[in-house]
Amino acid sequence: MLELKNVTKKYGDYTAVNNLSLRVEDGELFGLLGPNGAGKSTTVSMISTILAPTSGDIEVNNKSISKYPIEAKKVMGIVPQDLALFETLSAKDNLKFFGSLYGLSGKVLKDRVDEVLEIIELKDKKDQDVCEFSGGMKRRVNIGVALMNNPKLLILDEPTVGIDPQSRNHILETVKRLNEERGMTVIYTSHYMEEVEYLCKRVAVVDFGECIALGTKEELKKSINACDVLSVSYSDAKEEDLKKLESINGIEKITVEDNKAKILVSPEKKTVIQIIQELSKLGLKLTGFKYEEVNLESIFLQITGKSLRE
Ligand SMILES: Nc1ncnc2c1ncn2[C@@H]1O[C@H](COP(=O)(O)OP(=O)(O)O)[C@@H](O)[C@H]1O
Ligand SMILES: [Mg+2]
């Protein structure tokens, strides 16, 4: 569906996107995850043909978008990071206006507006001016605009920044449904690890314009040998006894402090049950227990040495 081949974008001397290569297959829900300034919006602008890459090429359906921009734009719907709506028009009229830009008219346009209002669940508010909407509702109209030409590839640039949790959930569920029920290919751009983790099977993690990791979460875990974390707290134990657990196959490391132990477990050989059995053999009085699977946040931390939220 979409391929970026060694794409670089420079603003003057500054390299915002550096030699980025990735492929998104038909029907995928692909995540582009990275902190602010990573180059996500620049990448989206290049895919949408607003910006030309300094070098490299982008293909949609195996055709270069610099040579065939109109064909590319026909299959894409872009939801930009910044809202692009007419505040003094109603939701319905915004959709109508942008639909007409795609060449829709008459009954086809009217039906499409109704269908999109249904998808973004704003049918009951369709005649209200957008300026009266909450941030979350405006976002939904923004997504609706991108859906007007019934795109095969939908690209959303940080669609949940600065909106209430309910709207956020609504947007996540809508994106999921568009992918699962309509087979829409989606690129979901965000700096929220948990959203990308929830929605996307495959992820490109970007930082300073470079792709620092690419693959499914499982592949990323394996590539950096990331560990899950089992934390236990107890009221009474000898630290040397706990250290003995390090001999269990699958335990990478144990740190013990103040009646708490953090046990790093290799996710491939989950040995949690064995660990618990051994803990009970030690006669430990457990007062707390938490098992955290490695997530994209900890993967990012392990690769870059910093948190995604900085
Ligand atoms: N028009 C521009 N001119 C110069 N620098 C820019 C411009 N747009 C973005 N940048 C810089 O490029 C980098 C990547 O920006 P951007 O693509 O917006 O990142 P993200 O969307 O991941 O937050 C940032 O350091 C930003 O300041
Ligand atoms: Mg951005």
Domain assignment present for 300: no
- Both 235 and 217 in a single domain? no
Query: Which residue has the least CA distance to atom 26 on ligand 1?
Result: 37
- Both 91 and 240 in a single domain? no
Q: What is the pLDDT of residue 207?
A: 92
- Both 70 and 177 in a single domain? yes
Q: What is the pLDDT of residue 288?
A: 86
Is 239 buried (19+), middle (13-18) or exposed (0-12) by CB count in 10 A? exposed
Separation of alpha carbons 300 and 263, rounded Å? 20
- Tell me the angle at which helices 135-147 and 106-119 cross, rounded to the nearest 10 degrees: 140
- Both 61 and 175 in a single domain? yes
Q: How far is the CA of 271 from the centre of ligand 2 (A)?
A: 41
Domain assignment present for 299: no
Q: How far is the CA of 157 from the centre of ligand 2 (A)?
A: 7
Is the distance from CB of 147 to CB of 116 less than 8 angstroms? yes
Range from 8-22, 55-69, 265-279 carrying the lowest mean pLDDT: 265-279
- Both 7 and 98 in a single domain? yes
Structural domain boundaries enclosing 265: 227-293
Q: How confident is the model at residue 60 (pLDDT cuts 50, 70, 90)?
A: very high
- Tell me the angle at which helices 135-147 and 165-182 cross, rounded to the nearest 10 degrees: 20
What CATH number does residue 65 fall under? 3.40.50.300
Residue with more model confidence, 297 or 65? 65
- Both 161 and 257 in a single domain? no
- Of 193, 221, 249, which marks where a domain is finished? 221
Domain assignment present for 127: yes
- Both 75 and 214 in a single domain? yes
Domain assignment present for 100: yes
- Both 254 and 184 in a single domain? no
pLDDT mean over 137-150: 94
Query: Which residue has the least CA distance to atom 12 on ligand 1?
Result: 16
Which range, 37-46, 190-199, 268-277, is most confident? 37-46
Separation of alpha carbons 159 and 81, rounded Å? 7
- Both 248 and 209 in a single domain? no
- Both 105 and 189 in a single domain? yes
- Tell me the angle at which helices 91-101 and 135-147 cross, rounded to the nearest 10 degrees: 30
What CATH number does residue 286 fall under? 3.30.70.100
- Of 180, 199, 221, which marks where a domain is finished? 221
- Both 177 and 31 in a single domain? yes
- pLDDT above 90 for 114: yes
Instruction: Determine how many CB atoms are found less than 10 A away from the CB of residue 275.
Output: 21
Domain assignment present for 310: no
* pTM across the whole model: 0.83
Query: Residue 36 — φ and ψ, nearest 5°?
Result: -60, 135
Q: Which-ligand-closest: CA of 43?
A: 1
Q: How far is the CA of 206 from the centre of ligand 2 (A)?
A: 12
Q: What is the pLDDT of residue 20?
A: 96
Query: Which residue has the least CA distance to atom 10 on ligand 1?
Result: 16
Tokens of 143: 């997504």
Number of structural domains the chain divides into? 2
- Of 175, 204, 221, which marks where a domain is finished? 221
Domain assignment present for 305: no
Domain assignment present for 191: yes
Pairing relationship of beta strands 76-79 and 2-11 according to DSSP bridges: unpaired
Q: How far is the CA of 260 from the centre of ligand 1 (A)?
A: 43
- Both 267 and 179 in a single domain? no
Question: Distances in Å between the alpha carbon of 49 and those of 134, 188, 190, 215, 307?
Answer: 30, 18, 20, 25, 32
pLDDT tens string 192-249:
988 998 999 999 999 999 999 899 988 887 777 777 888 888 877 677 777 777 877 7
Q: How confident is the model at residue 273 (pLDDT cuts 50, 70, 90)?
A: confident
Domain assignment present for 298: no
Helix (H, G, I), strand (E, B) or coil at 226: coil
